[in-house]
Amino acid sequence: MQRFVFKLFSGLISLFAMLPHSMAIAAPQPFAYGADLSLVTHLEKNGVKFRQDGQVLPGLQIFHNHGCNFARLRLFVDPDGTAAQVNTLAYTLDLAQQAEALGMRILLNFHYSDQWGDPNNQSIPKAWKDLPEEALRQRVRDYTRETLEAFRERGCLPQMVQIGNEINHGMMWPIGGPLHHENGGKKWIPLGHLLKAAAQGVRDADPDRTISIMVHPACGGHAEAAISFFDNVVAQSVPFDVIGLTYYPFWNGSIEDLTQTMHQLAERYKRPIYVVEVGKNWNGDEQSKPFPDTPLGQKEFLKAVIDALHGVPNNLGQGFFYWAADWVQSPKWLESPEKSKQWEQRALFDFEGNALPALELFQGKNAESNKAPATLTE
């Protein structure tokens, strides 16, 4: 009987090893109680004060104290500093080192642009715009490798990288998109080449494959669109390890829509899934039913997202990253603050910088193991 069980177990291991990468179920990682903290030090340098229980503390320290174990940091190629586009390599390295010192894992979000990349905006960096297509691919690969080597030298190598941000309509237009315009389907081949170049740059810097590669479209509540996108990614032989989704209830449907999308993606692609951008008003008139625009409504919403992630088959719902968690008091740091109010009403701090109840959910089931015994010093 023991010999039979051993042979059966050995056979299952061999079968698992033979599965193509796209079908293998990745080993689960610690659940990510994460936040996009890309602006926190810039805000503080411009006078923003973050408070926990009435006490002013460094923003990163407050997230650490609440059990945040994963910091998402975006990176622009050559930003001009306007419209909150301050995320240069030097700035991001400094911020990553501070997060690393607090025991947080790092998700580096490559935009491959000088400015915001999203479903409606994906521009080639100015310094790259005249490169022939093959040279552009090589530049993407080299830039990705060089960036990660800089992080390694500073002792804060990311555990995960995004090769593009909200790229469901492509990236680096007009080479890799837009996919949603007429004849956009023809852009999939050059987009695939760009994504493969980015992924190869990651592997050049990380031959031991310690860094997970994420592909991130903005369609968390739209299962059909998400499947169409990832079917094309797989068809282009783009190597990736994890799936990232954007989910805002005012744009991406209900919690039920998110749940359906994640379940279908998990069963089809067998990869870990992160809701890598999520947010909900604590104030205002957004009215994303059934969650009111109150601090407790925001907390109830985030708990529903966490519960949906825990319900993904095969433990493939791996965590969330709250977007613009630190986006407060924009008149102090943004040249056009009137356009920023919607994000201030979705932050995890009120208008005076006081931590909101939703931050309590970052404690999670394993908060103590997530938190390093560290204190951030200025």
Please tell me the distance from the alpha carbon of residue 284 to that of residue 250, in angstroms, as a whole number. Answer: 13
Bond preceding residue 178 cis, omega within 30 of 0: yes
- Start-to-end CA distance of the chain, whole Å, equals 63
Which residues does 228 contact at the CB level (< 8 Å), separation at least 6?
Answer: none
What would the two tokens of residue 347 be?
């932050």
User: DSSP state, 103?
Assistant: T
In this structure, how many other beta carbons lie within 10 angstroms of the beta carbon of residue 139?
19
Please tell me the distance from the alpha carbon of residue 160 to that of residue 73, in angstroms, as a whole number. Answer: 11
User: DSSP state, 55?
Assistant: E
How far does Cα 49 stand from its chain's mean position?
25
Pairing label, strands 32-36, 273-278 = unpaired
Task: Pick the catalytic residue from 44, 100, 166, 344.
Answer: 166
Pairing label, strands 242-247, 212-215 = parallel
Nearest to 241 by CA among 297, 203, 205: 203
Q: Are 75 and 89 in contact (CB under 8 A)?
A: yes
Does 300 qualify as catalytic in the annotation? no
Nearest to 213 by CA among 239, 248, 251: 239
What would the two tokens of residue 39 be?
């602006």
Task: Pick the catalytic residue from 149, 182, 256, 277.
Answer: 277
Q: Are 146 and 134 in contact (CB under 8 A)?
A: no
Q: Is the dihedral of CA 173, 176, 180, 182 positive or negative?
A: positive
Pairing label, strands 70-75, 32-36 = parallel
Does 133 qualify as catalytic in the annotation? no
Q: Are 187 and 178 in contact (CB under 8 A)?
A: yes
User: DSSP state, 117?
Assistant: -
> Which residue numbers are catalytic?
166, 277
